[in-house]
Amino acid sequence: MKPAVEVRLREGYPIFAGRGNLERLGETVKELIPARRAIVITNPTVGNLFGPIVRSSLENAGIASDLLEVPDGEEFKSLEVASGLYQRLVSINAHRYDPIVALGGGVIGDLAGFVAATYMRGVPLIQVPTTLLAQVDSSVGGKVAVNLPQGKNLVGCFYQPSLVYIDVSTLESLPEREFKSGLAEVIKYGFIRDADFLAFIEANVDRILNLNEEILEKVVIRSCAIKAHFVELDEKDRGIRAHLNYGHTIGHALEAMSEYRRYLHGEAVSIGMVAAARISHYLGMLQGAEVERHEGIISRLGLPRGLGSVKTSRIKEQMEIDKKFTGEANRFVLLKRIGEATVAEGVAQEIIDKVLLELGAE
């Protein structure tokens, strides 16, 4: 199977993407990693759905496997759960050359990736994302982390996987809300990098929402290619890779202030992108019609555009904790136009408050 995308770094890796290809994972791993054993980390839901297929595929390729499950939910992406996984890896005598297979969504990818990066100073990592959000975003780029009560992803590192293996057929298992949440990161790529890709999404909304696998494969591959572009330019997130955080400054604040329970990640980012588009407009960059285009595609995809029963003071408090701040200044990824992003620091609080009030905050 030929890689769909190559991430070209000093320690680069292939991204495989297809339809109904999960059963061939083992032979791909065998070709790329000299492994005799693998440890699959997942949650009970994904483990029941895809664990047997993955383990059978590995074992048919001569790779023994163990399955470790952790509870499902953002609140379990923690140091405590990571510590429990270290203990379980020791108890099964996991070796430093035994790859960890992260089977699941973004929480599993981040958590298992963090464990892979730190257990025995680093073991091989294979990302097998089963949600749209993970397939188009978190599985690519090497960011692995856990949360603290004060904020999301505050403890982590950069640790690139050995390979990313995507089967878009797994998306059929997702609840509708979770699938739509992943679409926020998809349209983000159009907003910040590729206006033609955004137009493709707009032209195929119905087929995307109906889970047309041919269209989804194209969407996932193009999204991964755009993500890889930014990762190759700025692996450690010290410059242009920040463009990938479009919508995330306010989005992460919304997630943290609700303790990751009210909003799914993509829902929070969706609201954050609407806010960022309006801030861009008020700063004289984005045209009014482009702001309307934001809100139009977000609405058509069934994603939220506004706030409700949220205090602007609470959002501000969380934004000040967010690691994207530089010193005392706020920091937003904004748009000059659709397809071209920029970073702005020190946006006037009056503009931020105005936008939040427009979106329904109190």
The pair of structure tokens assigned to 298 is 């977000």
Cα–Cα dist 41/107, whole Å: 11
Q: Find out whether 42 and 51 touch, Cβ atoms under 8 Å.
A: yes
Torsion of the alpha carbons at 182, 322, 335 and 210, rounded to the nearest 10: 10
pTM, to two decimals: 0.93
245 alpha-carbon distance from chain centroid:
11
Q: Residue 108 CA to chain centroid, in angstroms?
A: 11
Nearest of 100, 46, 37, 110 to residue 78 by alpha carbon: 110
SS3 229: helix
Q: Rounded distance, CA 16 to CA 164, Å?
A: 6
Q: Which pLDDT score is estimated for 362? A: 74
Tokens 């464990």, residue located? 115
* Residue 218 to residue 207: CA distance in whole angstroms: 12
Helix axes of 195-203 and 288-300: crossing angle, nearest 10 degrees: 40
Strands 100-104 and 151-158: what pairing?
Answer: unpaired
Return the SS3 of 334.
strand
Cα–Cα dist 42/213, whole Å = 24
Distances (CA, A) of 44 to 51, 80, 91, 169: 9, 18, 20, 19
pLDDT, residue 259, reads 72
Residues in Cβ contact with 279 at an 8 Å cutoff, skipping those fewer than 6 apart: 332, 334, 347, 351, 352, 355
Distance CA 177, CA 159 (A): 30
- Domains of the chain as residue ranges with CATH: 5-172 (3.40.50.1970), 176-358 (1.20.1090.10)
Helix axes 176-192, 195-203, angle to 10 degrees: 150
How far apart are alpha carbons 173 and 62 in whole angstroms?
28
Helix segments in 13-73, DSSP class H = 25-32, 44-60
pLDDT tens digit at each of 362 positions of the chain:
789 999 999 989 999 999 999 999 999 999 999 999 999 999 999 999 999 999 999 999 999 999 999 999 888 999 999 999 999 999 999 999 999 999 999 999 999 999 999 999 999 999 999 999 999 999 999 999 999 887 778 899 999 999 999 999 999 999 999 999 999 999 999 999 999 999 999 999 999 999 999 999 999 999 999 999 999 999 999 999 999 999 999 998 898 787 777 899 899 999 999 999 999 999 999 999 999 999 999 999 999 999 877 888 888 888 876 644 556 678 899 999 999 999 999 999 999 999 999 998 87
